[in-house]
Chain A
């Protein structure tokens, strides 16, 4: 097996890659839409890019949603791109250095033809920032082919009758793409590599977090198989399954090819006729078949093959159906290796059908219902896929399904998809620029973890090392000398549980948290008071920590006050541990347990 992955990670820059719009996630609502068409454009030497043509043949309209802070004329393809965002370029160079990749001398921005409508311009701007490199894994080095900096596409909102709606707030957010060499050994290894790359990216502290901000594409081929690109895996947990199922699918398709060679020998598979059989199903009990038109196609000598299982819940027939869906937008097809009773198709209908299309026991057939033109296009798709069965697996792009299986999406695009973006001048990258970034490079995850394990347990170390709060953690521990475990717990556990409670902790910025630790260091309050203080400050972000502590009456008790309480409690006859427990129960939020036990020890 040959396997490589591509990681796409959104960067946490302030602005987008080629315009001044905000690149940060927001809760904005769309304020307007524009409607556009796109078409395949003639490529090099007049030939039209295959992938582009495929999308065009689907003749769709695109509607784009406009957002106030994150859409301008650039996203609308109504204004040329501005110059490349320097912040994004710096992050991309940093990623190259972390991956031992060689940064190019001059960045050449390219246009990559995209005609699914996800880019208003019909192309995505992309450029190679680094070439080569590697990461270490448990199964040896995995090479890096290239690190690219590109524009994020628009987010899909929905699709209905020939019209797709996209949101433009996402379009143009900087995206780093890392492509590994096909060095991945197996399914488990694929997951490890994806995890590792994700960690390195997060360690820069400059990438977006959350759903959809990182995506994996997986390239897989088996011997005698083909290059298949599986697009858009968002969950790391699925990667193993995806690789495993795709390997089995390709292996099975190779076997089916062998079987077809046996059945056909040197004989060619001729183009079967599309036969109209609407009449047979005119009064069918199946609603699916009582349509304006039902077309049938005989697949000579294919009996049994359409029912061959590639992996759980996917048969060769499902692959045929994918093509009909992709080419004609039909719901699916019916084929002879299915349980036809379920539709239901009666024995009589079946024999009339077989007779009409001349299908014997060794032949299979495919049925499709709908309007005439659509049925024809669907069967064209089936025919195309049938011919491919003789060649084995095809180079193609597939999309991930919920169970880790995949479905056909489009043919593999050729390199004709890329041509220079003449609206953006090439950007020279100097040695000095690279060295400056090398000078402030974030540590590799392993190094950081090793350092953290000296002061934290493994669980906490792993949490904080990849956290967006890591820079704050370092500052508090380094500058204020607050104990690391306490800082990590506050940032990674206390804040998380408050968020789960519904406290708006996102209102707490780095400065506020810094203020909290300073006041703590000065002895203003005890650890136990922190959740209460944060809860209050989240809702009253304008107030200072010290005034919050006063309002909440959470000031740490002074030794004098504490001694007084100890004295009082003793009168009730309590001593030692019981005494401490009693006081802590009543004054937990204002008393430091260690301090209390010292007082109890010193003044027995």
Chain B
């Protein structure tokens, strides 16, 4: 935002963002289009875009501003073109929830806007012209701001699409918490009959090098032709633009802050390798097949669940805080095989015992992510177990967190909760840990 002083001056002159202006500063004269102010820029410097395309920052103090003829619309205009379905092309649904995949850039401000009209999407990724596309705008939310309420809305929207004659549903999503959403939908959509594919991009689509194009093309192929009637997550398989992996929605995690292949399958093989030319190679024999059955929606979640990471020197009072706030369940991200501190002053054991006594389940997962937890191999693990903790096998902490919300919405009985938590529903629990990543 510009400073108050500049804003006032602009108002007095009747100048709006996008107007052509002349800025005089001493013997220098510059003409260009008045640009909006970037968040991090100096609020006292006016930014204009010159005719050669460069932006220029000029101190407002000591400058004279003059309005010229001409205005350039800054921002996005969606095309109003209607797209017709063409017989013979497979129908897929795309639900947009935010993130930069299939988005457009405003070349004036550099701002990025998610496309959700079919015609815009096809314009951005022409290869999608091979498909009949039903696109829906659900919301536009940065993935770090997603809440369980959004997962429910997503589940309902996907469910609605699955009931149509679509071949499969794609959900475009910001990448940071995409694996939470894919896990949540894995539990909320029961008896899936078609693929539900989450996808996103690590590089915004304004650049020719964006991963979004290939991610979208591979997702469309997997949603329309794939045989996997599960919730999966399709993203780049390597740093090359050569193929994507489809990961099981409950067995995947973002493991890099910025790389294209940030998502990896954890404790499971990826489901399939998908090539931009449409080829699909299955890489995991264990999956639910596409079928004619009826999908059902079970969107109940108990949101008062906390995910707590243990670490040396932690304050166990954090559990008291949550219990005081009437939380109904805990997932602990322990160290190694699922350890928590047991030393006096920092011991979590008594908290596990108290919670369990109060009927609040405590689930144990590992911050190692790779591998499974164990309730017996060390004495301290046995202490946790005896205090009432439920060891969640090879389940990822985020997945256990989402699953516990789902389970708690269906039962209040500790024994039953334990049974449900430790029973595989959507591929979240594997008895065998794969040898190769």
A residues neighboring B (CB under 8 Å): 34-46, 52, 56, 73, 76-80, 102, 104-108, 110-113, 115, 120-123, 126-128, 131-132, 146, 148, 414-422, 425-426, 428
Contact = CB atoms under 8 A, between A and B. Distances in A.
Nearest to B111: A422
B54 A110 contact: yes
A110 B257 CA distance: 24
B108 interface: yes
B59 A105 contact: yes
B208 A41 contact: yes
Contacts of B359: none
B77 interface: yes
Nearest to A425: B40
B109 A105 contact: no
Contacts of A121: 203, 207-209
B162 interface: no
B33 to A, nearest CB: 11
Contacts of B110: 111, 419-422
Nearest to B74: A44
3 nearest A-B pairs in the assembled complex, by CB-CB distance: A106-B57, A122-B208, A418-B53
B208 A131 contact: no
Contact of B208 (A46, A115, A148, A426): A115
A106 B58 contact: yes
19 contacts: A38-B209, A39-B213, A41-B207, A46-B77, A77-B209, A78-B259, A106-B45, A106-B58, A108-B47, A111-B110, A113-B208, A122-B207, A131-B28, A132-B28, A418-B53, A418-B55, A420-B38, A426-B40, A428-B57
A226 B111 CA distance: 34
Contacts of B240: 34-36
Contacts of A34: 239-240
B101 to A, nearest CB: 13
B414 to A, nearest CB: 46
A39 B54 CA distance: 23
Contacts of B58: 104-106
Contacts, number: 149
Interface in B60-118: 77, 79, 104-111
Contacts of A123: 207-208
Main secondary structure of the interface of B (DSSP, over half): loop
Nearest to A77: B209
A131 B23 CA distance: 14
A108 B52 contact: no
A426 B257 CA distance: 24
B196 interface: no
B28 A102 contact: yes
Contacts of B214: 37
B123 interface: yes
B57 A104 contact: yes
Contact of B55 (A37, A44, A110, A416): A110
A112 B52 CA distance: 11
In the complex, which of the residues B53, B77, B108, B124 has the most CB atoms of chain A within 10 Å of its own CB atom? B53
Contacts of A79: 257-259
A148 B53 CA distance: 13
Given A78-B260, A419-B108, A131 B56 contact: yes
B242 interface: yes
A41 B54 contact: no
Contact of A104 (B40, B51, B56, B202): B56
Contacts of A56: 208
Contacts of B109: 419-420
B191 interface: no
B262 to A, nearest CB: 9
Nearest to B258: A79
Nearest to A106: B57
Given A36-B240, A426-B41, A41 B205 contact: yes
Contacts of A80: 258
A428 B124 contact: no
Contacts of A108: 41, 47, 54-57
A105 B57 contact: yes
Contact of B53 (A102, A110, A115, A425): A110
Contacts of A107: 57
Given A41-B124, A41-B208, 6 more contacts: A41-B207, A42-B104, A106-B42, A121-B203, A414-B53, A419-B106
A414 to B, nearest CB: 8
A147 B47 CA distance: 18
A44 B210 CA distance: 17
Given A44-B107, A102-B28, A106-B41, A128 B213 contact: no
Nearest to B26: A102
A419 B56 CA distance: 12
A78 B258 contact: yes
Contact of A42 (B30, B38, B123): B123
B241 interface: yes
B40 A419 contact: no
B421 to A, nearest CB: 37
Interface in B199-240: 202-203, 205-210, 213-214, 239-240
Nearest to A431: B59
Given A425-B40, A426-B38, A43 B107 contact: yes
B209 A420 contact: no
A178 to B, nearest CB: 14
B59 to A, nearest CB: 4
B105 A128 contact: no
A397 to B, nearest CB: 15
A53 B388 CA distance: 63
Nearest to A417: B53
Nearest to A119: B209
Given A35-B241, A419-B108, A77 B57 contact: no
Contacts of B51: 415
A148 B55 CA distance: 12
B57 to A, nearest CB: 3
Contacts of B77: 45-46
Contacts of A39: 208, 213
B260 A428 contact: no
Contacts of A127: 54
A39 B109 CA distance: 21
Contacts of B56: 104, 108, 128, 131
Contacts of A35: 240-242
Nearest to A115: B208
A36 B40 CA distance: 32
A380 B110 CA distance: 35
B23 to A, nearest CB: 11
A372 B62 CA distance: 65
Interface in B167-188: none
Nearest to A424: B40
Nearest to A126: B54
Nearest to A105: B59
B241 A73 contact: no
Interface in B368-408: none
A279 B81 CA distance: 46
A34 to B, nearest CB: 5
Contacts of B30: 131
Nearest to A113: B208
Contacts of B241: 35-37
A425 B387 CA distance: 52
Nearest to B214: A37
A335 B329 CA distance: 81
B208 A40 contact: yes
A422 B38 contact: yes
A41 B40 contact: no
Contact of B259 (A45, A73, A426): A73
Nearest to B48: A108
A416 B208 CA distance: 14
Contacts of A105: 42, 45, 57-59
B206 A41 contact: yes
Contacts of B104: 42, 46
A42 B59 CA distance: 33
A111 B55 CA distance: 11
B42 A428 contact: yes
Contact of B209 (A42, A120, A425, A428): A120
